[in-house]
Amino acid sequence: MVAMAQSKANGQGGGLVPAAGGAVAIPTLLGRSAQRIPVGGRIRAGIKVLTRRAAESGQAREIYDAGVAQGKGFDAIERELAAALPDFKNPLTPKNVPYFTVRGEDFPNPELARQIMDLYAEDRGDGVQRLYRFPVVFPADAWQNVMPHELVTWTSSERRFWSEYSEDGQTRYCKTYEQPPAPGAGRRVVRIFGGRKVTLRAENNGLCDPESCAEYQGKKCNLSGRFIFFVPGIKSISAFELPTNSFYAMQAAIEKFQTIGFMRGGRISGFLDGQRTPFYISKRLVEVSRIDEEGRPTRVAQWLIELEAPVDPTALLRHDEDLDALELRAADAANVLQGHGGGTSTVQVVSEDGVIEVASPSPVVEQAGERGQRSSGASTASRPAAPAPARAEPARSAQPKRGEAPLAGRPAAADAGVEAKEVAWLFDAAAALGVDAESYERYATKRWGQGWKKAAGGRKRALEDLTPFQDDGAGFVEKVKGELEVWA
């Protein structure tokens, strides 16, 4: 079990910081930053083709066709065109197609691109293997972490302006980089430790307001997002990303993330069910509305990224049949068998029809009843004697782990102290994220059962449930609210 603490360092956002053995993590020179998922390759949502003017040049067509045949990325092809034909500005233009592009140049290890195509590319009648649909598994439960997005303005070399929300999620700011301090006479520019500092943009009091933003109105600032995921069958410690600028695709994905999260107790990471069902990413041709240059609404057909979840939704709502619930019931049973429960204990028996709760007396009460029967002269000849439970002697070299149920000869008070500390850490962490103790108690009991605080596995999963939201208090509050109210 690990402790969790909330802190801020070096001006960076605070968050819940796990530390081994219950100690609070000590800030380092580099401080703490928001949780980021390393990316090791990029799948693109479309292709780029020559503009009408560039296509009239035979040399441009030759460079483009050769680059595509060699599997080069479109950025590399565009650089070659710019070097060979400097008169052509922006010789390539995006084209919306029903498939995805996977090129070796977009991966640090080009072999990964080949593996993705070998596993999931298909020929739909034109003789060309293309990637139309592929499975994905998301590595985090907060959809903001697996689909980061922002309004952003790029220059030829860097990100110039970008949007960022306040900690309460209510105000959107426009951020930029500070100018390096001016050097003195005869001195070089001041060296900046840790990279350039981020500050609010001077215009508009630092607020992000697209309607009054010159960059947005001039189409220099646009919505930019990306999906971050793992692909089953591809062995890579780094995730992959799929960039998109489509508001409609991202909005539809958010709705599906939230729906699946509500049904799975806030989880969207991992496989969706015990049959290892993943999400799928594909494309769908839909008509979307847009405003033309004269301000009139029009509708155009586009291939949009589609997030699929091919799973029986009723199976996702049966929380009591997963392994977490089984582990908690096992811990409760262990406490009862060792006499640490009360007069009665609830033993849960899982059947195909659901969970059946049966109240059974504790061993202490049962033994007292048997002694009373023997002292009153009750005859036991007509019923077989119950075999005495075998007691396994613990290995001398084995050391009990933190949070385990007390073993024979181990003081129960020590385990109770560890349990109380770990539960207190969890409630403090929830409070730091904005959830009061009473709400968190009801939420945790609903997710992991009545015995979640007593079982080491229950406390461990409670910590794992909190950790992805260390920089997203509003997201955790929404998750708890959805569990308690939407699916009440």
- Confirm whether 453 is domain-assigned: yes
Helix%, strand%, coil% for the chain, nearest 5: 35, 25, 40
pLDDT tens string 19-69: 434 444 455 555 555 567 889 899 999 899 999 888 888 888 999 999 888
Q: In this structure, is residue 365 part of a structural domain? A: yes
Confirm whether 126 is domain-assigned: yes
**302 lies in a domain?**
no
202-254 per-position pLDDT tens digit? 888 899 999 989 999 888 999 999 999 999 999 988 999 999 999 999 999 99
Residue 173 bridge partners (DSSP): 164, 207
- pTM over cut 0.75: no
338 is a domain residue? yes
Most confident of 8-22, 153-167, 310-324: 153-167
Strands (E), 309-441: 344-351, 354-361
Q: Is the pLDDT of residue 116 over 80?
A: yes
Residue 133 has pLDDT above 90, yes or no: yes
Confirm whether 308 is domain-assigned. no
Containing structural domain, residue 366: 319-370+402-486
Interval 309-368: pLDDT, tens: 998 887 777 544 455 555 555 555 556 555 554 444 444 443 333 333 444 444 433 443
Token couple for 227 = 């999906």
Write down the pLDDT at residue 364.
37
Give the residue from 134, 157, 183 where a domain finishes.
134
pLDDT at 56: 87
Angle, vertex CA 24, rays to CA 19 and CA 29, nearest 5 = 90
Q: What average pLDDT does this structure show over 248-262?
A: 91
Supply the pLDDT for residue 329: 56
Q: Do the Cβ atoms of 304 and 249 come closer than 8 Å?
A: yes
19 three-class SS:
strand
Handedness of CA 45, 50, 53, 55 (dihedral sign): negative
Identify which of 17-31, 113-127, 291-305, 474-488 has the greatest average pLDDT. 113-127
**Residue 132 — very low, low, confident or very high, per pLDDT cuts 50/70/90?**
very high
Question: Where a domain ends, among 83, 109, 134?
Answer: 134
To the nearest 10 degrees (0 to 180), the angle between helices 412-433 and 473-481 is 110
115 lies in some domain: yes
- Percent above pLDDT 90 for the chain: 27
Phi, psi of 73 (to 5 degrees): -75, 155
Instruction: Using the 3D structure, point to which of 134, 160, 176 is the last residue of a domain.
Output: 134
**Residue 373's pLDDT is what?**
44
Q: Who has greater pLDDT, 384 or 483?
A: 483
- Please count the structural domains in the chain: 2
| Tokens, residue 443 | 């939420």
Is there a domain that residue 98 lies in? yes
